[in-house]
Amino acid sequence: MTTRPTMIEFQDVHKYYGDYHALRGINATIKAGEFFSLLGPSGCGKTTLLRTIAGFEDISSGAVMIDGKHMEHVPANQRPTNMVFQSYAIFPHLTVEQNVGFGLRREAGTTEEKARRVEEALEMVNLKGYGRRAAHALSGGQRQRVALARALILKPKVLLLDEPLSALDKKMREQMQVELIKLQRQVGITFVLVTHDQEEALVMSDRIAVMFEGEILQLAEPEVLYRRPNSRQVAEFIGVMNFLPAFVLGEAGDTVQLEVAGLGRVDIEAAQSTGRATDGTVSVGFRPETLTILYDGQKAMDRETPGTIEEVVYYGDMTYYDVRLDGVEKVVRISMRNVFGRPVLEYGSRTRVAWSAGALVLFR
Amino acid sequence: MKFPALRTYAYLYLLFLYAPIILLPIFAFNDGTIIAFPLKGFTVEWFRQMAANTTLRTAVENSLIIALSSAIFATTLGIFAARAATRFSFPGKAGIIGLIMLPLVLPEIIVAVSLLVVLLGIGVTLSVFTVILGHVLICTPYAIAILNTAFNALDRSLEEASYDLGETKWSTFRLITLPLVMPGVISSLLMSFTISLDEFIIAFFLAGNEPTLPTYIFSQLRFPKQIPMIMALGTCLVAASIVLLTIAEYFRRRGIAKTGGTDTGGFL
Ligand SMILES: Nc1ncnc2c1ncn2[C@@H]1O[C@H](COP(=O)(O)OP(=O)(O)OP(=O)(O)O)[C@@H](O)[C@H]1O
Ligand SMILES: [Mg+2]
């Protein structure tokens, strides 16, 4: 990604609701034209942070800058942002057309010009011909499109989306994810999306801020978040991660020497030691797909460890195996792509597991 | 069918409720001064008398002025109060709302007498305006109760969306909030109007020499000769009520249908 100018900047933003500390020192920058996500569990302050951008929430201290301008005394109706609400907030007494054109009331331009812009906006969200419908007679997916068109018609610098897909069923959601990505590329506007769905965030975002209890724990590209989570919380929130207790034997230059339960002596690179553990324990983590079950006659490319299959979960294209490595209490999860001609193994059978030191992440 | 006793009870109840109202037009057109069967001939004499009665006309005019003003004032105050109550939290909110709602349970005679004492004490002459004052006081709690429900049902993000799209607080209120609570506003206007129109005690104490419909009717009941005319008047009032209710209900339902909301119960 080329270097883009900064669009939004949070400078040590704090927010209190009475005694409750909802935002605890947010520092982050969102770049122009970026698809940015705020990801985190319920109640972590995602919506609150989004609303400080929109201007619906006053901050207790710190600063929010949009496009280089301090937003402290700029009310919501004068900010260069528009919002797609979680409930969509479609005006029920107006038609689709009137909803989409609502923001144009205060814009200069002739009636014909405005009608044309409404028409264009509807076309952009694939709702051509729905203009005269009553807004309350729309399906969930259609309401969402109306909300999008209504927010985008003003060509804001930033589009804010608060869990826009959470009310849709799975199929519709996946379809809208793709449409949203396309739409964002097409209009080139900075999108800030709030979601508690890690998959959605990974699929859609250029960068993701993972929030926990009013703080940003990690802000990075999806791939970095997935491969190099900086804490056990982030690792557990995004995808599945296996953890095994470990002991640091020594460090030499770029190498960290470890003794890992079940895996034995391992040398990893210092760059893999990104994680921080809040509770003082040391452990290594690895994703289920970085392990491979070895069939008879197969040889590991790097290292292998024997174990027993404790559980088999068959998903059609994938099979999850829970394997107890010899000498460890905990089972580790391994995901294997099912290949034609290769049988699914039964639980209880002995097996060998191939792994590689490069896929480990150290948390300490 | 299953409960014949309940069925009979329901019919008796309806009979008891509506028989007197059905008797009104019957005697209003009866050619006799005594309210009793058998009926005599058909006449419109009583309606003619009613139309020619100037005191009655003044009473009707006063009552309409009072009821309309009270309905508008009470509903306007109700809109402000209900909005404040549902949108903002401020110290002493529960206490203030409680005080406003108090006239709902306070005996009217106490409200009337204490208002009279205060008004006379500060030297206000009794007139139609003092009645309006009293009626606004007793109608406002009803207006707030109705409007609170309407404002509570309103999704807050609708107002935020409008604000987000560049409208001001005031234009948002006009373009979004008000149209969406309109069914509640109509119910509130109607409720306040009817409460005020047939209110007797406050009107009796605070009207001074001005007649209102209820106080005029009451004063005429002493003269048996006048009773058929009162019957004619009652007939007109019933007809007017039906028309008014029908129109209001029509607008209320249309408002609900337009916003696709669910009917939370009106008057009909
Ligand atoms: N107006 C408010 N008054 C008091 N507390 C609030 C208010 N709004 C939010 N909070 C609290 O602040 C915290 C963060 O809320 P927020 O809505 O930002 O969470 P969220 O991350 O969006 O969660 P969700 O995924 O459930 O929407 C929550 O604990 C919530 O209870
Ligand atoms: Mg939220």
User: Is B3's pLDDT higher than 80?
Assistant: no
pLDDT at A1: 53
Segment-wise mean pLDDT, segments of 10 residues, chain A, 364 residues: 84 94 95 95 94 94 94 92 93 92 88 91 89 86 92 94 88 90 92 94 95 95 92 90 90 88 90 74 91 86 90 91 91 91 86 91 89
Query: Which residues are CB-neighbours of A77 under 8 A, at least 6 positions away?
Result: A55, B163, B164, B165, B166, B167, B168
ipTM of the complex: 0.83
* pLDDT, position B174: 93
Closest CA to A353 of A329, A323, A327: A323
Ligand 1 neighbours, Cβ below 6 Å, are A 17, 20, 22, 40, 42-48, 196
Q: What percent of chain B has pLDDT over 70?
A: 96
Compute the distance between CA of residue A218 and CA of residue A185 in angstroms, rounded to an integer.
Answer: 25
Count other C-beta atoms under 10 Å from residue A182's C-beta: 10
Instruction: For chain B, list the domains and their CATH numbers.
Output: 41-259 (1.10.3720.10)
State whether B160 and A134 contact (CB < 8 Å): no
**Topology of the domain comprising A6-232:** Rossmann fold (3.40.50)
Total residues belonging to chain B: 268
Which chain B residues have a beta carbon less than 8 Å from that of A78? Answer: 166
Residue B267: pLDDT band with limits 50, 70, 90: very low
User: Which tokens is B194 given?
Assistant: 């009817």
State in Å: Cα A179 to ligand 2 middle.
22
Q: Does residue A54 sit at the B interface (CB-CB below 8 Å)?
A: yes
What CATH code is assigned to A240-363? 2.40.50.140
| Tokens 């969930």 sit on residue | A140
Q: What are the Cα distances from residue A98, in Å, to A101, A153, A182, A315, B242?
A: 5, 12, 25, 47, 36
Give the pLDDT confidence score for residue A278 in this predicted structure: 67
- Of A199-203, B36-40, B105-109, the range with the lowest mean pLDDT is B36-40
Instruction: Using the structure block, give the residue that is written with the tokens 């339902």.
Output: B253
How many other C-beta atoms lie within 10 A of the C-beta of residue A220? Answer: 17
* pLDDT greater than 70 at residue B117: yes
- Residue nearest to ligand 1 atom 14, measured at CA: A45
Which residues of chain B are within 8 Å of residue A92 when distances are taken between CB atoms? 180, 258-261
pLDDT tens sequence across B188-217: 999 899 999 988 899 899 888 888 889 998
Nearest Cα residue to atom 8 of ligand 1: A48
> What is the overall mean pLDDT for chain B?
86
Per-domain boundaries in chain A: 6-232, 240-363
* C-beta of residue B93 within 8 angstroms of C-beta of residue B161: no
Distance from CA of A135 to the nearest CA of B (A): 8
pLDDT (0 to 100) of residue B265:
47
Between the CA of A189 and the centroid of ligand 1 the distance, in Å, is: 27
Average pLDDT of span B254-260: 73
Please write the tens of the pLDDT for every residue from B154-193.
Answer: 888 999 999 999 999 999 999 999 999 988 998 899 989 9
Task: State the best of A85, A98, A133 to mutate against chain B, taking most chain B CBs within 10 Å.
Answer: A85
